[in-house]
């Protein structure tokens, strides 16, 4: 039996962060991994999906060139070459992660799948046992495969499978209007794959503001067939085809695809851990409650970090989770609370969908007295220059103080707008201070300024907004 101060289960983004933080407090530590090294982000998440999206953007740029008077031949998309680059670059990113893991003291690494045999006792499938004074669980997440798709058999795939393709298929039915579904559906569509995106319940990515959600649905729907609240009667399989029967415009239709991509979310990877043996109180999902300020469960010696903690399934959040969990596991029982960063989420569709700070739903449910400023990008100067004049940005500010609270958007180059707003929210900036900041001309950020001016009026700070033409000339 190996006895340590801290055992970390999982060597992904959260686990590695936990290891580095805990290592500052103790040398009696072990990092346990039962699968291949390399994070979810590097292997099947952030990086390979963005590589696919980058290829799709290149194809779209050729398609759109005629709108600028630049006439090019229709692009020839070689699916094998597209996926070859995705896999090569993916392997490169994974290699960096593996190098980092291999740089860890070999005596601190254990290979094998761990499960609890008691509050402090872990057994690996290799037969080894570890007794740990504190434990960090950082096992990540797994794709959800709804039972409703069982009839599809091996024609059912998840996002992990897509990013391992060696070529592009002819047609894919994508189920799920969340981040994964939106990004993959649009990318595949722009790469010449026939795609139909089926949503459920009207959701569009992480958006909760009805106006922004409607604008996002319209923007994506103008690019490919997308129903945020699809009425699907039946999903079957005939030979090597997936047959989907659904209602569109009051008519029942049937369409055939090569694959059904279930982009219906990811769930905490808890199977095999036997958390019941840990002594923790578990909910109906088999998961414990975790304090996001400490990543501690029930005030005890077991901590959770990353996707398994079921908070916000994003890499930067997982890294923060790991840092907090590892630090507290290392210093236990002198646990410290940590301030969380302002929430920031980006969907790499075109236009980008993004959220920063508090969401519309959170502010509404919390009975916060807030006002909303907005800008429609249809006539925004720089957006029209780029022929990307589509989208809606809404910013929320607190009445009385004018403090910026959050924003939701579907906007050209929204990834940059969201960062600016997240930074402004985290620093406690108010709308008038934000308007004193420099805005270059002509840039997309002038649209942000328009929304801030609208918010200032709604908060009663100004009598009226300047004319819309202010984004098209100097003198702002």
User: Does residue 301 contact residue 133 with C-beta atoms inside 8 Å?
Assistant: yes
123 in the same domain as 34 = yes
User: Does residue 450 contact residue 382 with C-beta atoms inside 8 Å?
Assistant: no
Beta bridge partners of 252: 247
In a domain, 38, yes or no: yes
208 in the same domain as 189 = yes
Quote the CA–CA distance of 145 and 262 in Å, as a whole number. 6
CATH at 131: 3.50.50.60
Query: Which of 302, 331, 360 is the endpoint of a domain?
Result: 331
Is 464's pLDDT higher than 80? no
In a domain, 473, yes or no: no
* Whole-number pLDDT of residue 272: 94
What mean pLDDT value characterizes the chain? Answer: 94
Q: Tell me the mean pLDDT in the region 395-415.
A: 97
Q: How distant, in Å, are the alpha carbons of 6, 268, 286 from that of 265? A: 31, 10, 18
| pTM of the model as a whole | 0.94
134 in the same domain as 41 = yes
pLDDT in tens, 279-319: 999 999 899 999 999 999 999 999 999 999 988 888 999 99
The beta strand positions in 269-403, using DSSP E, are 302-304, 344-347, 352-357, 370-376, 392-398
Confidence band, pLDDT 50/70/90 cuts, at residue 474: very low
pLDDT in tens, 29-79: 999 999 888 888 877 888 999 999 999 999 999 999 999 999 988 889 999
Q: Which domain holds residue 280?
A: 2-143+267-331
CATH at 376: 3.30.390.30
Neighbours of 107 (CB within 10 A): 10
User: Does residue 122 contact residue 1 with C-beta atoms inside 8 Å?
Assistant: no
Quote the CA–CA distance of 46 and 41 in Å, as a whole number. 5
Cis peptide before 304 (omega within 30 of 0): no
* Whole-number pLDDT of residue 328: 98
* Whole-number pLDDT of residue 366: 85
209 in the same domain as 109 = no
155 in the same domain as 115 = no
Angle at 251 between CA 249 and CA 257, to 5 degrees: 95
* Whole-number pLDDT of residue 476: 41
Confidence band, pLDDT 50/70/90 cuts, at residue 324: very high
Is 263's pLDDT higher than 70? yes
Query: Which of 237, 264, 291 is the endpoint of a domain?
Result: 264
* Whole-number pLDDT of residue 465: 66
- 3-class secondary-structure state, position 2: strand
239 in the same domain as 151 = yes
Cα-trace Rg, the chain: 24
* Whole-number pLDDT of residue 41: 84
353 in the same domain as 243 = no
In a domain, 472, yes or no: no
In a domain, 304, yes or no: yes
pLDDT in tens, 80-111: 999 999 999 999 999 998 899 989 999 999 99
In a domain, 476, yes or no: no
In a domain, 125, yes or no: yes
In a domain, 425, yes or no: yes
134 in the same domain as 57 = yes
User: Does residue 56 contact residue 83 with C-beta atoms inside 8 Å?
Assistant: no
* Whole-number pLDDT of residue 36: 85
φ/ψ of residue 250, rounded to 5: 80, -5
Percent of the chain at pLDDT > 90 equals 88
User: Does residue 114 contact residue 123 with C-beta atoms inside 8 Å?
Assistant: yes
53 in the same domain as 98 = yes
Confidence band, pLDDT 50/70/90 cuts, at residue 475: very low
Q: Tell me the mean pLDDT in the region 321-348.
A: 97
193 in the same domain as 77 = no
Quote the CA–CA distance of 128 and 49 in Å, as a whole number. 37
279 in the same domain as 184 = no
Query: Which of 264, 289, 312 is the endpoint of a domain?
Result: 264
49 in the same domain as 8 = yes
> Which of 356, 50, 349 is CA-nearest to residue 216?
349
Q: Tell me the mean pLDDT in the region 216-221.
A: 98
**Total domain count for the chain?**
3
In a domain, 475, yes or no: no
């Amino acid at each position: 039996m190996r006895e340590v101060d801290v055992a970390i289960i999982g060597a992904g983004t959260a686990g590695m962060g936990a290891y580095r933080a805990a290592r500052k407090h103790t040398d009696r530590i072990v990092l346990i991994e039962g699968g291949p090294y390399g994070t979810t982000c590097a292997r099947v998440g952030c990086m390979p999906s963005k590589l696919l999206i980058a290829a799709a953007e290149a194809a779209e740029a050729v398609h759109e060139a005629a709108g600028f008077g630049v006439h090019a031949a229709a692009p020839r998309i070689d699916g094998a070459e597209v996926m070859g680059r995705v896999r090569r670059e993916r392997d490169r990113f994974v290699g960096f992660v593996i190098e980092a893991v291999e740089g860890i003291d070999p005596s601190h690494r254990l290979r094998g799948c761990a499960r609890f045999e008691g509050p402090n006792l872990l057994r690996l499938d290799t037969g080894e046992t570890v007794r740990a004074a504190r434990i960090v669980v950082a096992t990540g997440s797994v794709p959800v495969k709804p039972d409703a798709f069982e009839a599809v058999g091996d024609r059912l795939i998840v996002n992990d499978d897509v990013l391992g393709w060696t070529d592009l298929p002819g047609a894919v039915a994508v189920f799920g209007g969340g981040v994964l579904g939106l990004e993959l559906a649009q990318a595949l569509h722009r790469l010449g794959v026939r795609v139909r995106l089926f949503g459920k319940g009207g959701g569009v990515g992480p958006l909760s503001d009805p106006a922004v959600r409607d604008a996002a649905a319209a923007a994506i729907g103008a690019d490919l067939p997308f129903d945020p609240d699809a009425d699907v009667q039946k999903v079957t399989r005939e030979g090597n085809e997936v047959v989907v029967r659904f209602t569109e415009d009051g008519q029942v239709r049937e369409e055939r695809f090569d694959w059904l991509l279930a982009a219906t979310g990811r769930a905490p990877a808890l199977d095999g851990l036997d958390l019941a043996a840990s002594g923790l109180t578990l909910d109906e999902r088999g998961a414990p409650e975790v304090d996001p300020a400490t990543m501690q469960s029930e005030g005890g010696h077991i901590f959770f970090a990353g996707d398994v903690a079921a908070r916000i399934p994003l890499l930067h959040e997982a890294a923060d989770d790991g840092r907090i969990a590892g630090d507290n596991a290392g210093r236990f029982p002198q646990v410290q609370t940590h301030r969380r960063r302002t929430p920031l989420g980006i969907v790499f569709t075109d236009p980008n969908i993004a959220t920063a700070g508090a969401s519309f739903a959170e502010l509404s449910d919390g009975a916060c007295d807030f006002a909303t400023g907005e800008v429609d990008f249809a006539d925004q100067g720089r957006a029209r220059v780029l022929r990307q004049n589509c989208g809606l940005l809404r910013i929320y500010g607190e009445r009385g103080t004018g403090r910026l609270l959050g924003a939701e958007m579907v906007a050209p180059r929204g990834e940059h707008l969201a960062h600016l707003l997240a930074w402004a929210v985290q620093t406690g900036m108010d709308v008038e201070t934000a308007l004193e900041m420099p805005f270059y001309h002509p840039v997309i950020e002038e649209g942000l300024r328009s929304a801030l001016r609208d918010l200032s009026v709604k908060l009663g700070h100004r009598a009226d907004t300047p004319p819309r033409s202010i984004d098209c000339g100097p003198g702002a």
